[in-house]
Amino acid sequence: MKLSLKKAMIKAAHEVFIVADSSKFRQRSLAKIGPIQKDHQCITDQGIPKETRWKLQKESMTD
C-alpha cells in the first residue's frame, strides 16, 4: 500500500489502531507514516522495551 494512501486513511479515520509486534519498536524504517498520537491505540506483545512502553504511556497522557 502506498505511503500517501496510508496517511490519507489515518487522516480520515475516526479511530486508529496500531498493531505491531515488539520487534518493530527496535527497528528504523525507511518511511514514516506519522507520529503516534494521543488518540491512537497501540497493541503489541509483552516484549516491548520498558523505555518504549513508558514513553508511549507518557505521551498518551499529555494534551
Residue entry with cell 507514516: 33
Is the pLDDT at 44 greater than 80? The verdict is yes
Q: Give whole-number Cα distances, 29 to 12, 15, 24, 62, in Å.
A: 23, 23, 9, 25
Average pLDDT over residues 43-49: 90
Please say whether the beta carbons of 7 and 33 come within 8 A: yes
pLDDT of 18 higher than 70 = yes
Give this prediction's pTM.
Answer: 0.63
- What pLDDT score does 47 carry? 92
Q: Determine the average pLDDT of the residues in 34-59.
A: 85
Query: What's the total number of domains in the chain?
Result: 1
Whether residue 6 is predicted with pLDDT greater than 60 in this model: the reply is: yes
- What are 16's strand-pairing partners? 40
Residue 54 is part of which domain span? 3-60
